[in-house]
Structure 1
Amino acid sequence: MPDQVDEIKAKTDIVSIVGEYLELKKAGRNFRALCPFHSEKTPSFMVSSELQIYKCFGCSKSGDVISFLEEYEGMDFPEALKFLADRVGIKLDPFKGSSKGEKEKIFQINELASYFYTYLLLKHTIGKTAFDYLVKQRKLKPETIRKFKIGYSPNRSFALKSFLLDKKGYQLSDIEKTGIIYVKDGRAFDRFRGRIIFPLFDHRGNIAGFAGRILPGEDRDLAKYINTPETLTYRKGKMLYGLNMTKSDIKKEGYVVLVEGELDMISSWQVGITNCVAIKGSSLTYEQAKLIGHYTEKLVLALDADLAGDNAVRRGIEIAEKEGFEIKVARLSKFKDPDEAARENPEMLKRAIKEAVNIWDFILENIFSRYKGEGGGVKARISKEVVPVLYSIKDKIVQAHYLKVVSDRLSVSLDAVSEQVLSYKPSQTSVPGKVSFSPTPKKERRELLEERILSLAFRHKSKVLQKSIFLDLFSTSLAKRIFVKFRMFIRENEFDPSLFASFLPGELVEGFSDMILKEEEDLKGKGFFEKELELLINELKITDIKEKLEKVGKKIQEFEKQGKSGELVERQKEFARLARELREFEGEEFKGIILSTKRK
């Protein structure tokens, strides 16, 4: 397996893979993008084709193509390896310990279960009632049903178990791990029996779980919808229904339409709203927001028009705001949800999405619409709801606008509304915030200069490091060790960043990678490299002299206190000589450079 990992990585170009997810731009020898792992406005995420690695100089996330897929796509190692192996045409050997990874086995069983359910709905008489309901009442086209692999589970406890266990030969323990059956009193039951089945795909197209809906007129004591319980492959709050089909359209349109349930999403998609997903619940989660952020920064909420829908907007808004989304809300008019709107008046639904209003306008209008009258009691109840909303608006200009709106609507002074918002104390319970980073350690100026010299040489003209001037130039640990290794390597090899990285001991690879990935602008123009290098060397010598002056100055103070006149005179002469050297360096053409002392 280790040999296969190396073979797969050797045949994979990290720039090509990362470029499918991020907008990469050439930056010298490397590529640059906005980091997908933290919020930033200036790109600090670098990808090296030579080293086949990435690193963000803002949040310090780094790794190879496999770790990128693990971080970005949420894949585990076997999934990422299989994904890459399939792309480059390599058949993977079985992983040690089992013939299939646990997740892979669940996906396979779910795929077979989906085939079973779909067959019964489309080709068996037992599914006719469910099929007629979907086509006649929910107005789904047969091709839509096939596209979403909708199925039907008969109201028979052991039908699925017999298919998977007896016909396909899976172990009962493996089937139970999928959540589609449960064992009671030693017997296995189909969890979704008697229900219309919606396979729940992850954004890569794997069937992670299922949702089941009872038919109208069935036992009213049963929940209308049930889902697969949490498994290795399915976690409700991390998935977006339909994303596997609509992610390219979301990128193309530049925004996503969020709806609540499966039928909301399917009906909307069927009438041409192909950039929509369902959050499968009444509130957007933090994990869902992060996933949406891979494809767009704009979202339109088209949730149910009842109270649950309004609450969903209120609960999800803070999460979306924290993630930096531009948020609008589609007003569904007389329709209770997007499914009904798509069936009854699809053009109205499309228009509502195109004319979606700003989230703050929607929330405030929703609050005011629920209260009638103009008395003090009514205004007090409105105030109780609008003040937290106004407080949560982070943009002060936008907040000022809505303070004025509320002031006018309530016919009270702007100062009164402003004071109420300023005195508001929010609850400490809140949604998860953005990822925070520990303060990164500072580097001394000498360390920065030495590493920048090496970075400049490695990226533009490594042969310059063979000159004798550099032999005694480096004194900080990382720079000196990498320089010594470079001199050893270059005796028998032409410099190649990838080969040199493999030559280095493990503890030096990250430091060297940082030098190669430095996000400085390219050096353009004839002689610019030489001038920049001379400037850096000059600055390093100035730093060296200043350090020596500081040490000699301390010795002079000691000898003065101790009355050692002979040693004092010698140190004063040395101090004067160093001071002259410093004046000579600082008087030259290059006046020095400013370096950040923070690690990016």
Structure 2
Amino acid sequence: MAGRIKDEDIATVREKARIDDVIGAYVTLRNAGGGNMKGLCPFHDEKSPSFNVTPARGMYHCLAGETEVMTWDGVRPIRELAGGTHRILGAHATWIDAPFKSYGIQPLLKLTLTRNRQVKEIFATDEHRWFVRSDSTSAPRREVLTKDLKPGHRLAHTFPRSGIRRTTPSPFGIAHGFTYGDGTRNASGSVALICPPKDEAMLKWFPNSVTSASGDNLLVHHLPRFFKDLPSLEESNPYLYGWLAGYFAADGCVAADGTLILNSATRENLEFVRLLCTRLGIATYGITSQRRLGIHGVETDLFRVHLVNSDVTDEFFLLDEHRRRFQENEKKFARLGWVVQSVETTDRVEEVFCAEVEDGHAFTLADNILTGNCFGCGVGGDVIKFVMEMDGLSFTETVERLAEKVGVPLRYEDGPGPARNSGGPQRPRLVEAHKLAAAYYAENLATPDAMEARQFLSTRGFDKDAAEHFGVGFSPRGGEELTKHLRALGFKDDELVTSGLAGDNNRGLYDRFRGRLMWPIRDASGDVVGFGARRIFEDDRIAAKYLNTSETPIYKKSHVLYGIDLARREIAKSSQAVIVEGYTDVMACHLAGVKTAVATCGTAFGDDHSRVIRRLLMDHDDFRGEVIFTFDGDEAGQKAALRAFEGDQNFAGQTYVAIEKSGLDPCDLRLQEGDAAVRDLVAQRVPLYRFVLGNVVGRYDLDRADGRVDALREAAKLVTAIRDRSKVDAFSRELAGMIGIDPNDVQREVRRAANRAQQAEPSGAPVQVATDLPDPRDSRIALERETLKLVIQHPDLIAPAVTEVSSDDFTHPAYRAVWAVVTVVGGVGAADALWASRLQANTVDERVQSLLSALSVEAIPSSKEPDAAYAAHHVHRLRELTASRRIADVKSKLQRTNPIEEQVEYNRMFGELVALEQHRRTLRELSMDQQ
């Protein structure tokens, strides 16, 4: 039995298998400068490219660093964070949770930085990433490795978002902060010390307190003991901002040039201040110290920290002199970033650490320095390790596979042949079986038995060259031919069964695919990993039109896309991927010139497929491609579009849909109208969101108010599911145009839909069945109720005014039912002494009878006895509301009508709108006259 591969052959494989070529089969790589290439990490899902490849070194790497990190709980050494998940400040100035890990022993460089005459040293690996500020408006910062940093490079910085712009300091917090700075603790609590005239303005923050004189100073007594303790960081922002303002009034100063300085004899106090400022979004500079002569002539340290002026408001300054200096010396800019002074080699070789941050791939060190991270997967290595990780192969299998690709013959310690593992079939054997099966099927397409298969291809517009290009073949009908063929080539039964090419029953092995047209399914590297098989013969005992390879060690249907081997380079080159529904659609698209087409294999397009496409597109926040879905125009196609829309957020780029008007798929379209029609189909794509929302809205009659309401409610459910708030606003505005209503109404409904979704879980409370009777307190339909009360209680007064009233003037079904009863008995003009009783007698609906009884006895809300003018006023107002609803209907339809393409209809509706506006104005004037 053969042994291990010889070391010199392994080295040759490493040398000849270019890492960028191998990885490029899985990931689109782009030039990252400095001889490096970058793409979306294939080992985990991410929105920004983090995966780095160095072809010259044959290495891919995630990066490490060692220094202090800004966390939610303060600045902490990174080695203390390793092994846990901590809340840190990310690239987008938001607090995020990220794991920290050790990355082994590595040599370190010393990075020396300066800012405002302060000097800082950081030790990092040579390929740790930093962000250097640039003058370009399109790319304000660029990535630079530690070894490539130059003196004068300005490092990017990040500060938390402000939490004080919309608040003011809490008075109680101010009293606490001032007492902490200038106060003492005694037996009864705390005492604040106020030194006039400087601190005299602080008295107002201690109202109704007991004060006493102490020499030239004032003491404020009976304050809480905790006033001499630091506040909890869980207090509200106004309280903490007030505490900081009070503490600054006690121990801070504003220099003549406007610099904000807070002093303390205790460094821990200022460390707390910096942490508090971080929580509030106030930038600070590092803590500095100077020696001073203290009590009895003993030298001690005085510590100070500077606050950034632009991050505080006028309300922060409680002393007049502080506020005056702050306002008179507004600084033009603040030097927030650090500047590189030097990068030097060191003799330090030690354990290094880093965070794994997926959002932005960066985090913030102490003193607000933004730095690169390691990327969630924590992987690194050479070309062999990459293929092992990606395809789940052993070391030997990987070397054998790469050797085959680059043409390196392998020698083994105990013989010339490959080793056999007794643990079952290995990937190279399964891939080899599929490769040979694909060749066998392709050869059989030329046999007499495959005539119907060839005819099928011909009727779909595919000739011999097309079949050969895509490797289309034919599986013999006998049932054992492929199995016998592969056995003769040395494959064992367990290998054939595991590969999915053969099945096993009580009588032995049989071919999985029999008498079918065969499409080989390849992975991105070009290896055949499965097959799609179409039914050709009517007597095929398996009724399914298409069969696909079952899940195997090398075939996962949620991870493969038919045509990806042919399309991947074009997808990367054009930043476009076209998703079609079937094998023949892929063929038609490619032959028509749309070479970015791929298809799923017997399953819906899912999240795993999205990740494959995103890596090839290099789809991320800074580089956006486009994904175009083609669906049939039938109901199934519309459902597929909705599923795609639900997965739209997997892509940073744009998603579109291309549907032929008559519902033809790309293959049929090419047959009927030619290659150009397929290219036009893709070129005339429409945004996916517009197509989906249009389908939802199109189910409703938008000429009716209730139809527009229902359409809005249904579409709002889709819009509110979008996580990107900027997209939500844009979709809402477009939805308003589709339905023909005010954009503000759409945004309100979207917010309501979001609230309903959050409250959808059952609360356990009993559900109350809504009544069909209107609520007497409902102000929206109060006028309808009052008018009907006049109809029943005072028919003689209202009769002259209701001749033009109809059921359309009532919006509630119950009120409309009452008016129908009035009409049945002859109208209001037929009222007599038994009017109310006759109305009751002419309906069998108990709910309407109940409503009639209520309307006949409810009080009329008038301070005097109703007269004809009072009744006419109600009727005119009721009809005015009807006119307003009709105006809204016409306006909605007018908004949805193209004035150029539908000029006659547009002009007709415009004339109707003008007439309705005049009619409403007349009713309003009549109503006012009667009033």
Shift of 1:271: 1.8
Structure with the bigger percentage of strand: 2
> Alignment partner of 1:273: what SS?
coil
Deviation, 1:40, is 5.3
1:511-551 per-residue CA deviation (whole Å, 9 max, x = no partner) reads: xxxxxxxxxxxxxxxxxxxxxxxxxxxxxxxxxxxxxxxxx
Q: CA deviation at 1:114?
A: 1.9
Q: Distance in 2 between matches of 1:114 and 1:15?
A: 28
**Pairing 1:179-218 to 2, within 5 Å after superposition:** 179-215=500-536, 217-218=538-539
Helix, strand or coil: the match of 1:329?
A: strand
Question: What letter corresponds to residue 164 of structure 1 in structure 2?
Answer: L
Q: How does 1:124-163 map to 2 (within 5 A)?
A: 124-135=447-458, 137-163=459-485
Query: What amino acid maps onto 1:134 in structure 2?
Result: L
1:317 and 2:645 are equivalent in the alignment = yes
Quick one: distance in 2 between partners of 1:352 and 1:369? 22
Q: Contact conserved, 1:271 with 1:342, CA < 8 A, in 2?
A: yes
Q: Secondary structure at the match of 2:670?
A: helix
Q: Find out whether 1:405 has 2:741 as its counterpart.
A: no
Match of 1:115 in 2: 439
**Separation in structure 1 between the aligned mates of residue 23 and residue 544 of structure 2, nearest angstrom:** 43
* Alignment partner, residue 686 of structure 2: 357
For residues 192 and 16 of structure 1, what CA distance do their matches in structure 2 show?
34
Question: Is residue 427 of structure 2 the alignment partner of residue 103 of structure 1?
Answer: yes
**Contact 1:260 / 1:281 at 8 angstroms: preserved in 2?**
no
Say which of 16, 21, 24 aligns to 2:31: 24
Structure 2 unaligned regions, length at least 5:
64-372, 413-417, 620-625, 759-931
Whether the aligned pair in 2 keeps the contact of 1:198 and 1:212 (CA below 8 Å) is yes
By how many angstroms is 1:376 displaced? 4.9
Give the aligned residue type for 2:661. S
Match of 1:189, SS? Answer: strand
Q: Which amino acid aligns with 1:390?
A: V
Q: Of 627, 643, 646, which aligns to 1:299?
A: 627
Q: Distance in 1 between matches of 2:542 and 2:39?
A: 51
Tell whether the 8 Å contact from 1:304 to 1:337 is kept in structure 2 after alignment.
yes
Looking at structure 2, the residues matched to 235 and 16 of structure 1 have their Cα atoms a distance apart, in angstroms, of 23
Q: TM-score, normalised by structure 1?
A: 0.63
CA offset at residue 251 of structure 1? Answer: 2.2
The 1:228/1:33 distance shift into structure 2, 3 A limit, reads closer
Report the Cα offset of residue 302 of structure 1: 1.4
Aligned pair in 2 of structure 1 residues 217, 386: CA closer, same or farther (>3 Å)?
same
Q: Is the 8 A contact 1:32 1:43 kept in 2?
A: no
Matches within 5 A, 1:489-508: none
Task: Describe the shift of the 1:399–1:74 C-alpha distance in structure 2 as closer, same or farther (beyond 3 A).
Answer: farther
Counting only pairs closer than 5 Å after superposition, residues 206-285 of structure 1 correspond to structure 2 as 206-215=527-536, 217-219=538-540, 222-281=543-602, 283-285=604-606
Note closer, same or farther for the CA distance 1:48–1:119 as it changes in structure 2 (3 Å cut). Answer: closer
Seen in structure 2, the aligned counterparts of structure 1 residues 25 and 214 have a Cα distance that, compared at 3 Å, is same
Find out whether 1:68 has 2:68 as its counterpart.
no
**SS in structure 2 of the partner of residue 238 of structure 1:** coil
- Whole-angstrom distance in 2 between the partners of 1:325 and 1:385: 26
- 1:153 Cα deviation after fit: 1.9
Q: Compared with structure 1, are the counterparts of its residues 58 and 380 closer, same or farther at alpha carbon in structure 2 (3 Å cutoff)?
A: farther
DSSP-derived class of the 2:442 partner: helix
Mapped to 2, the partners of 1:309 and 1:72 lie a distance apart of 33
Work out the CA distance in 1 between the residues paired with 2:553 and 2:517.
23
One-letter amino acid of the counterpart of residue 30, structure 2: E
Quick check: 2:387–2:398 contact (8 Å CA) kept in 1? Answer: yes
Secondary structure at the counterpart of residue 407 of structure 1? helix
Kept in 1: contact 2:562–2:601 (CA 8 A): yes
Instruction: Give the Cα–Cα distance (whole angstroms) in 2 for the partners of residues 279 and 249 of structure 1.
Output: 18
Does the CA-based 8 Å contact 1:282-1:308 persist in structure 2?
A: no
Checking the alignment, whether the CA contact within 8 Å between 2:701 and 2:708 is kept in structure 1 is: no
Relative to structure 1, is the Cα distance of residues 111 and 100 closer, same or farther in structure 2, using a 3 angstrom cutoff?
A: farther
Give the deviation of 1:158 after TM superposition. Answer: 2.3
Whether the 8 Å contact between 2:531 and 2:549 is mirrored in structure 1 is: yes
Map of 2:61 onto structure 1: 54
Q: 1:238, CA displacement in angstroms? A: 0.5
Give, in whole Å, the separation in 1 of the partners of 2:436 and 2:457.
22
Partners of 1:393 and 1:202 in 2: how far apart?
A: 32
| 1:91 and 2:409 matched | yes
Per the TM alignment, residue 411 of structure 1 is displaced from its structure 2 partner at its CA by 3.5
| 1:300–1:40 Cα change, 3 Å | closer
Partner SS for 1:129:
helix
1:562-589 CA deviation, whole Å, 9 max, x = no partner? xxxxxxxxxxxxxxxxxxxxxxxxxxxx
> RMSD of aligned C-alpha atoms?
3.1
Give the Cα separation in 2 of the matches to 1:306 and 1:342: 19
Do the aligned residues in 2 keep the contact of 1:180 with 1:191 (CA within 8 Å)?
A: yes
- Structure 1 residue aligned with 2:814: none
Counting matched residue pairs gives 423
Match of 2:38 in 1: 33
Q: What pairs with 1:178-577 in structure 2 (closer than 5 Å)?
A: 178-215=499-536, 217-219=538-540, 222-281=543-602, 283-296=604-617, 297=619, 298-345=626-673, 346-425=675-754
Q: Which residue of 2 aligns with 1:466?
A: none
Q: Kindly tell me: are residues 107 and 50 of structure 1, through their superposed partners in 2, closer, same or farther at Cα, counting changes over 3 Å?
A: closer
Paired with 1:51 and 1:200, the residues of 2 have a C-alpha distance of 30
1:371 deviation in Å? 3.4
Q: Distance in 2 between matches of 1:51 and 1:213?
A: 43
State the Cα distance separating 1:86 from its structure 2 match. 4.4
1:389-420 per-residue CA deviation (whole Å, 9 max, x = no partner) reads 21133443442232123223334443332222
Q: Counterpart of 2:400?
A: 82
Partner of 1:547 in structure 2? none
* Contact kept in structure 2, 1:335 and 1:341, CA below 8 Å: no
Query: Quick one: percent identity of the two aligned structures?
Result: 22
Per mean C-alpha deviation after superposition, the further-off stretch among 149-158 and 14-23 is: 14-23
Offset of 1:115 from its aligned partner? 2.3
Corresponding residue of 1:534: none
Q: Match of 2:504, SS?
A: strand
- Structure 2 CA distance for partners of 1:387 and 1:282, relative to 1, 3 Å: farther
Q: CA separation in 2, counterparts of 1:321 and 1:179?
A: 34
State the SS of the aligned residue for 2:644: helix
Amino acid at match of 1:31: N
What one-letter code is carried by the residue in structure 2 that aligns with 1:105? Answer: R
Q: 1: distance between equivalents of 2:22 and 2:549? A: 32
SS of alignment partner, residue 196 of structure 1: strand
CA contact (8 A) 1:283 1:313 kept: no
- Whole-angstrom CA distance in 2 between matches of 1:320 and 1:410: 23
Residue aligned with 2:647, SS: helix
AA of the residue aligned to 1:104? P
Judged with a 3 Å threshold, the aligned counterparts in structure 2 of structure 1 residues 388 and 182 are, in CA distance, closer, same or farther, namely: same
